[in-house]
Structure 1
């Protein structure tokens, strides 16, 4: 029997409603920097100047995105990675970031390196509501979603790391007489605060606090001055050049303190080798990432992927340069966030997804260390494992330890 006209009209209306709802659900949302075919990512990093060694991070990230593009991109969109040299200069950083945002019109700024550069662009990017995502510095202030909701760190914060050293010392060497050598800037002071917070009521274990200026050519005189106070533990919250100098000078003096060095200054190629492997025996630090030269990772699935990536996209890479490990891990995390965004490539959704990572495993992070974030926690990595230098490499020991930092 033929369907009545009224019924036909009702069915048609329902069908039209379903179609309209379906198209609404499938609606693509874009901000500047994203289209059906492209996602523009901005970056600043020192390819020149005093911190130019870190430029290898940017080169590794560029290579990683080339690999992703060759595999079809992210949800069918190719990544356009625009990376500029800021020479580790805050004024240059501001200039280059303004260019990325206002001229290149990127969706977000990814992995800008260094505490001074990121501090210089911090308020500008938050004022523009442009993601300053996975900054390459461990300053604790990047984990402040309430006041700076467009900025997120990636690596463990300096305070978290320093708290881990404090926890280890309280347990293993409770009667320690500690001397601290630190860089007289936000970097060094962040570490020092974390150590003091970690020691808590045992803060009197610190008997010497010695600072140096980054413009000083050497810290040798500071080491001599510290030794005269007769501490049995020296903690070096210093950058790579000064870490190598400190290790060498301690050996020259025939001094045998327990020596702990910040994670940012444990690169085998740029610190331990120049310091002299024989001088670095027994030095302690902490790690959150795997070592690209360590044979124990030869059969590790994640490191096999990392190695294959270098073989194809960076065949001349120096595998003892941990910047290749860092750049790969940070880029892998960003691609995960972009995948989670789906077809909603707005800046607000980028930050929402970045704050929704749950137990994300990165190929280059140590076993058991996973990335977790939330709307109130912008510190993706907060665990490290102690390590000791032996022979020509670092050996990990003990369990992973968490640093508990609050704003």
Structure 2
């Protein structure tokens, strides 16, 4: 278990000493702090921590500090569901936050509905969390389908016609594929390669052979972390020079580093402004807080930071004694809430969040360039 603050230990000590315990708001998170998405999860959590630490340093929300209890689910959907159950039933969290993964969040939704727990900023762009509207899910980032459609349209506009799609055989891969197919249809193209792989035990050698044989010019990889790294290496080792493209679930500095010598030129879609776009107040705020801690903002950190702003606003509007139900109502009251150059709006029939989508390319320095 990872706690972003030591409030629980301090509360226990206060009780032993007969002192009044400090009021706190408990928020729960389950994500793959170990495993193939660990680098991105850590950066997203670090970005959220930047904002929450600032809020807590200023006295918290309505006089209460926010404590996030983070459990490692090792990117396993079954463990994610069990972690969510513990957080909801045993830790009695007011809300869940930044849960990572498409099948993982799908496994959590029944628990949200059973206990009336709002989930803010799931770290996935799965359409299944947008349509139909999930009562207790408040999305912040844009959908994977929008990203995939945009990147395929971009490739086609550059004259690239031999496009392949390689995806994890799970709900995340299927979701991204739906967007990619829309982009291909609009460009009047068919994928020259369309291959699925086992997320738990990927074997890229036969796929690499098909990529080479089909003379694929660009491969959209709908997968997470090390799977993209290993797939890309397999394609290159087989002799392919295809442009590699992946989605924003891999928009972390850790992912870029893990690519090593293959990083340069990889296209990664983004669902937040460039982390160097200082004309966005959101980016300036995050940059200044990170600089004070000797850190550098990455796209994944900006996602966590933005989600934390939405969470805090929901808690603030819920009043001095926030309950799950009050936070739910408060979040649905957000209308054109300014996050710092980006506005977010919710309502009982709209939990979509932002619709921002852009493209970036990894430069020779390993950083994302727009």
TM-score range, shorter chain: 0.7 to 0.9
CA distance in 2, matches of 1:338, 1:389: 37
Q: TM-score, length-normalised on structure 2? A: 0.81
Which deviates the most, 231-240 or 199-208? Answer: 199-208
2:167 equivalent in structure 1? 182
| Contact in 1 for aligned 2:37/2:226 (Cα 8 Å) | no
Unaligned runs of 5+ in 2: 1-21
2:240 match: 255
Distance 1:240 1:190, change over 3 A: same
Distance apart, 1:204 and its partner CA: 4.1
Matches within 5 A, 1:199-348: 199-200=184-185, 202=187, 204-216=189-201, 219-267=204-252, 269-277=253-261, 279-290=262-273, 292=275, 294=276, 297=278, 301-312=281-292, 314-315=293-294, 317=295, 319=296, 322-343=299-320, 345-348=322-325
Per the TM alignment, residue 115 of structure 1 is displaced from its structure 2 partner at its CA by 2.0
**Residues 32 and 75, structure 2, Cα contact 8 Å, conserved in 1:** yes
Q: Unaligned regions of 5+ residues in structure 1, if any?
A: 1-35, 397-407
RMSD: 3.0
- State the TM-score, normalized to the length of structure 1: 0.75
Structure with max Cα Rg = 1
Check 1:163–1:43 CA distance in 2 against 1; reply closer, same or farther (3 A cut): same
In the alignment, what sits opposite 1:103? 90
Bigger relative contact order, structure 1 or 2 (CA pairs below 8 A, ≥6 apart): 2
Q: After TM superposition, give the deviation of residue 331 of structure 1 in Å.
A: 0.9
Deviations 1:250-309 (A, max 9, x none): 444553334322222243x333333345x44443332223455x5x64x86544432342
Query: 1: CA distance between counterparts of 2:234 and 2:113?
Result: 43
**SS where residue 380 of structure 1 aligns?**
coil
Match of 1:6 in 2: none
Give the corresponding residue for 2:369: 395
Q: Is the 8 A contact 2:30 2:70 kept in 1?
A: yes
Provide closer, same or farther for how the CA distance between residues 266 and 84 of structure 1 changes in structure 2, counting only shifts above 3 A. closer
1:64 and 2:51 equivalent?
A: yes
C-alpha displacement of 1:187: 0.9
Change in Cα spacing, 1:207 to 1:327, as seen in structure 2 (3 Å) is same
Indicate whether 1:117 and 2:104 are aligned. yes
SS of alignment partner, residue 259 of structure 1: strand
Question: Does residue 358 of structure 2 align to residue 385 of structure 1?
Answer: yes
Count of aligned pairs: 348
1:139 maps to which residue?
126
